[in-house]
Structure 1
Amino acid sequence: MHKFVIALMSAVLALLSVAPAALASDSTAGALPLSEQQTGPMITLLQDRLGWLGYHIDDSELGSSLFGQSTANNVKSFQAKFFISPTGIVDQRTWVELRKISEPRGELPPTCTEFTTICISLEQKLVRYVVDGQVRMSADARFGVSGQRTSPGSYQVYWKSRDHVSSRYQTPMPFSLFYDGDQAVHYSP
């Protein structure tokens, strides 16, 4: 049986994050805004960053580096998730946030690649299922409720519950994986 490890990357990402001014000063500033029907290397970079964060871009847009409907919808989802007005247009604010959240792109901490793991990023608000160092699935995530901070660190799952109901909140917590006392990762429709 595979060992499951929960690895929270928030501390690593916080240490590696770059100040917004530095992020905005790169060569992309002149290429903004990015919007539907544009093509080119900036669109490829945009789609790559969105993909790393778990957003699915249609293959037809990826193959042609086209900022199409799929890319626009994913930009809107990203904007809404990070409290930016969901216009679907990549302006300076959106680009700075996307760069900050998607760095370091393509890198997982060693604790996320040693076993079959659920690798969680508090900074990116993302859960990744990793097998043999390869991300097999990504999903948006929320962490804790006000006053109930999610503990960073590496943990082993000690209990699984398919149809769990929270004893504290009396709400369904389907497919719960418990670690660190009463903390759990679970699916929420």
Structure 2
Amino acid sequence: MRRTAAALASAAVLAGCTVEAAEGDGRSPVRIDLPGDSPSASPDDAKPSSPAETSEPPKPPEVLWSRGDTGRDVRELQARLRQVAWLFDGPTGTYDDLTERAVKGFQGKRGLPRTGKTDAVTWKRLLRMTSEPGKWDLYLMGGQPAAEPDPRCLTGRVLCIDKTSRTLRWMVDGRTLSTVAVRFGSEYTPTREGVFQVYWKSRHHHSTLYDSPMPYAMFFSGGQAVHFSSDFAARGYAGASHGCVNIRDEEAIAALFAQVRNGDKVVVSW
């Protein structure tokens, strides 16, 4: 006995399949789909959306310092860049073109984006490769804050020199007119401490004892003088004098030399 299409449909539902009515029964083929099927749907309609298509792009790392920034943190960045030989000047405390170029080189060497800006990723990598700079690593080329002036500097015209902060204040009647970084003698040729007077000025002085130039020399104790030092300008506190008070800023000492007179007081304190 032949089964009807309705019977076939019922059997198909129970069997979990799709059937068509047999040919030759005088009817059009009957397609029976199980509930939930969608014959007209495209296979792509069933694909879940990709996370990459729906999520936002990752944010770039936070920029900590960039060109034009100043301060103690920039000094530390520069000191650490010196440790890995990407920077040879400073630290100056100013994020200048040399610092930007050094950061770009450091980033490129390590496969980071060469932005020249110090972001959190660059800084973390640099921290892992370097050690904490000491005080004089941060102020290798000067720029350190001056100490409070010695009480003996508060009257008259005084070159107030402090070995602790490595600074010289030019003071008149207790008022500081200018401040510069200075360098002193080594432990074998120490700079004398005490109260002195400028007794001789020599603009183009040359040391016969050490065969070295001493421009803008202002002598205050025997052969010891305040003067410009090209070695200090080049190497900072990596070197030392033979007892003189070295100044690395030639423009600053030229201005100082023009103002200081013979007989002005010199105070050298620790």
TM-score when scaled to structure 1?
A: 0.48
| Structure of greater relative contact order (alpha carbons < 8 Å, 6+ residues apart) | 1
For the pair shown, the structure with the greater C-alpha radius of gyration is 2
